[in-house]
Structure 1
C-alpha cells in the first residue's frame, strides 16, 4: 500500500476520483430532494430516478469512445461539463425561474456524462500502476466508492436541511472544480495502438461489439446463468421502486435529514455486506441466498412501519447487509463458471439487464406512490427481497448450489474455456 502512496500520478487520480464521487453523491441527494421539493409528487421523483438511471443501461456504448479519446482530456471535460450543468440550477433559482422540469432535464444529461467519467477513471488506473499493484489500487477505488456514498449521502441530507438543496449545487460546482484541477495535473496517458490490425473505424468497432454482445446474450440465456443472476435483476427493480418514493417516505419520517440518513444506510449496508462476504462464502450459496434474502425482506418491511425514525433507518441498513455479501459471492461464482473469453461480454449483458430493471422500478414506484403513499410503496420494495428468496427456493438448480469454492463449471454443463 505504501508503494501506491509514493506514486504521485496515482494519488492525483485517486484524489480526483474521491472529489468527483463526493460531488456526485451530494448532487444525487440534492437533485432528488429538489424534485420532490418543487413538485411534492411521488410521480416526479420516480420520473427523476427513471431519467437518471436509464443512461446506465447504455454505458457500454461509451467504451469505444473512451478507448479512442485522450483519457486526460476526457477526465477533465467530464468534470467541466458537470460544473456548468450544476451551476445552471442556482442561477435559474436566483432569477426566480426554477421549475421542476429544468431539474429533470439536467439530471439525465449529467448521468450521461457519468457514463464516460467512471469508465475513464477505471481505464486510467492500470496505466498508472504496475500489474502487481492493480488489486490494491482497485480495492482502494472500490472502498472509496462505497465509503464516500455512505458518508456524503448522510452529510448531504443534513446540509439540505441547513442550507437548502440549491446551495448544495453551488458546493458541488466547487468540488467538481477540485476534481478538474487534479485531473488537469495528471500526466498524458499513453494510448495503445495495435499496429498489426491498424486503426479500426468507429463503425467497425461497434459492429464487432454487436457480434460479441450477441454471443454474450446467447451464452446467458442458453445456460443456468439466466437463472443464476435473476437475483440482481429483481433486487435492482426493488431498489428502483423504493428509491422512487424515498423522498416522500423521508418527508413522512421527518424531512431531508432522514432522507440523507436513509441513503447513507443504503450504502453502509452494502459496504458492510461486502466486507463480510468471505464469512458468507463458507456456507452453501443456495441456502445462503434463501435464508439471507428472507431475513432481508423481514427487516426491510419491518423498518417501514417502525414508529421510531433512527431505529427504522438502522434496521433498513441492516436489511441490506445480506445483499452486499451475496452480490460479491454471485460475482465470484460467475468468474468461476463463465469462460474467461466470454467473461466481459456475459457480465456486460447481466449489467445491462440489471440496469434496465432499476429505471423501470423507479417509474412503477413513482406511479404507485401517488396512489398508495410513500410508506407503503417503500415497504413493497422489500417484497422484492422475498421474491428472490422464493425463486432460489423453488428452482432446484439454484437451491442446490454449494459453496463458491466448490462450484465447478462442468457440473452445470458449461466449459470454463471456449475455443
Structure 2
C-alpha cells in the first residue's frame, strides 16, 4: 500500500479521501489555493502545500504545481477526487511519466471514455443500447443541421469533453439549432478547453439511473447496485438515492449486467459509474461513463457497507478487490441531498457571503460530508456545494422521513448566503417524489409553478 498520497482536490471530497487514508495508515498531503488556506483538510492532512491563487486554472487545474507538490512531499500517488483533473488523460500520463500513481483508470481508458462521443461508440460496439445520434462530433453548423435531420427533435447537444451537467443544451425546434450549437461549443471551449460537440436524441420524462462499478487489474469486476439521480436542475443533480424506486427487478438486473459488460469491454480499472436514461416502459439507453468517484457515492456506501475510496486506493496499489459480486448484499434505502449555496427562487443562481452559523444534523443513520465551518467565506470561485446530507433507513419511506428531519436540523446562516435546503424539503414532500414516479423534469415543473 502507498505510504503517502497527495489529494489533488478541495472541499468535502478532499476531507473524505483524507479520512479513509488515515484509517488505512496512509500519510496524506493536501494542496490548497489561497482561498482555501483555512480549509479543514489543510489542518487534517499530515502536510499541506499551497499551489496558487483562487482561480482553478492557476491552482487545482495546475498540473505542474500539483506534481511539484507531490515530488517535494514524497507522495507516491495522487488521488484526484472528482471534477478538476479527475478525468484528464493528459494529467494521468504526466503522473505516469513522473513515477506517480494516478488513482483512477489508466490514461488510455480515460482518453477513450472521457470523450463522450467516443464512449458512445465504444459502448455501442459492446452491445449497450444508445440513443439515436452520431457517435462522431459535428464540426460545423451545416453538419449539425444535417445530422439533426436523422436524429430528430427534440435533441440535445453535448460537449464531447463535458461532465457534471455542464456543456449541454436541449434543442426543441430546428430554428434554434444554430444558436444553441454555437453556445454549447463556446461553453465546451471555456469550461473544458475543447469545443467539440455531438448530437443525441433527447427523451422527455425519462429517469436518470446510474450503476456503480469497481474493477481491479486482476480481472475482478463488481457492480454495487443502481442509484436514481432524476432530481436535477440544469441537468445537475440535487437528490440521489439507492435503490432506484419503482424500478422493475428485471430492468435493474439488465442495467447491472450492461455496466459490467461495459467494464470488461474497455479494460476499466478503478471506481466508475455508468449512466443511463430509463423510460417509463423500462427501456434504457447508455449516456456516459464517469471515470472517477461520484459525488453521490455515499448512498452506495450506506446500503452496501463498502468504502469506495478504500477500494480505489487498494486497486490503484495493485491489490485485487476485497469483495466479489456474491459479497455485495445491499440493505435498506439511502438518500443524499446536496446542500448548495444557491437561491432556488432566482433560478438556482449561486450565492456568496460569510457563514456565521453552521450546525450539522445528527441522529441515527445520518451522515454529513462537508468542509463547511462557521466563519467560512463562500465565494463564486468554486462549485456551490456546501455539504451532502445522507441518511439510511430500512425502507424508502423511513429514509424520506429521516432526511426531512435531518434537513430541519441543518443550519447554514450568514449575510448573503442562501441554500437549497427549503427547496429540497419541498422535493421530498412532492407527491411524485413520494410515489417514486418522478423524472428528470420534476424540478423544472416545480419551479415553473412557483
TM-score interval, normalised by the smaller of the two chains: under 0.3
**RCO higher in structure (CA 8 A, sep ≥6):** 1
User: What is the TM-score normalised by the length of structure 1?
Assistant: 0.24
User: What is the TM-score normalised by the length of structure 2?
Assistant: 0.23
Q: Which structure has more helix as a fraction of its residues?
A: 1
Q: Which structure has more strand as a fraction of its residues?
A: 2
